[in-house]
Chain A
Amino acid sequence: MSLAIETIDLVKTYKHRGGASNTVVDNLNLQVESGEIFGFLGPNGAGKTTTIKMLLGIIGQTSGVANVLGREAGDIEIHKRISYLPEKPYYYEYMSGLELVIFYASLFGIRDNDRCKELLRRVNLANDMNRPLSTYSKGMQQRVGLAQSLINNPELLFLDEPTGGLDPIAHIEIRDLILQFREEGKTVFISSHELSDVERICDRVAIINKGQLVAQGRLTDLLAGGRVEVTAEGVSDAVSDSLRHENRIVSFKDGRLILDAPDSDDLNGMIDALRNGGAQVVSVIPRRKRLEDLFIEAVAEDDTAKGRQRGRMTDGNSDGTKSAEVEEVKTGEGDPS
Chain B
Amino acid sequence: MNAVLSIARTTLGEAIRRRVLLVILLIALLLLVIAPGMNGLTARQSQTVLLSLILGVLQLSSAVIAIVLTVYMIPNEVERRTIYTILSKPVLRWQFLLGKYLGAVSALGLMIMLMTGTMIAVFAAFQGPNVETLASLARVAMMYFVQMCLLAAVAIFFSTFVQPVVNFFLSGGVYLVGTVFGSLFATIAESQQLPQLVRLAAQLVMLIVPNFGQYNVQNSVINSGAQIVGEGIYYTNLAVYGIVYISILLLGAMLIFDRREV
Contact = CB atoms under 8 A, between A and B. Distances in A.
Interface string B2-18: 11001100100110010
Interface of A: 53, 56, 58-60, 76-77, 79-80, 82-92, 94-95, 103-104, 106-109, 148, 152, 158
Contact of A86 (B17, B81, B91): B81
B13 A94 contact: yes
Contact of B88 (A58, A90, A92, A109): A58
Contact of B84 (A53, A60, A82, A95): A53
20 contacts: A58-B88, A59-B262, A76-B92, A83-B88, A84-B85, A84-B88, A86-B84, A89-B82, A90-B80, A91-B82, A92-B10, A94-B13, A103-B6, A104-B85, A104-B89, A106-B3, A107-B3, A107-B89, A107-B91, A108-B89
Interface in B57-99: 80-82, 84-92
B261 interface: yes
Contacts of A90: 80-82
Given A84-B84, A84-B88, A107-B91, A59 B6 contact: no
Interface of B: 2-3, 6-7, 10, 13-14, 17, 80-82, 84-92, 261-262
B261 A59 contact: yes
B85 A88 contact: no
B2 to A, nearest CB: 5
Contacts of A79: 88-91
B90 A107 contact: yes
Nearest to A87: B81
B85 A92 contact: no
A152 B92 CA distance: 17
Contacts, number: 69
Contacts of A87: 81
A16 to B, nearest CB: 13
Given A88-B81, A90-B82, A95 B13 contact: yes
Nearest to B1: A109
B82 A58 contact: no
Contacts of B10: 92, 95, 103
A225 to B, nearest CB: 39
A92 B13 contact: yes
Given A60-B261, A104-B89, 10 more contacts: A56-B87, A79-B91, A80-B90, A83-B88, A83-B89, A95-B13, A106-B2, A106-B6, A107-B2, A107-B91
Contacts of B3: 106-107, 109
Contacts of A86: 81, 84-85
A104 B90 CA distance: 10
Contact of B17 (A94, A106, A107): A94
Contact of B85 (A60, A77, A89, A152): A89
A332 to B, nearest CB: 33
A261 B86 CA distance: 53
A198 to B, nearest CB: 22
Nearest to B259: A60
Nearest to B80: A90
B199 to A, nearest CB: 36
B6 A92 contact: no
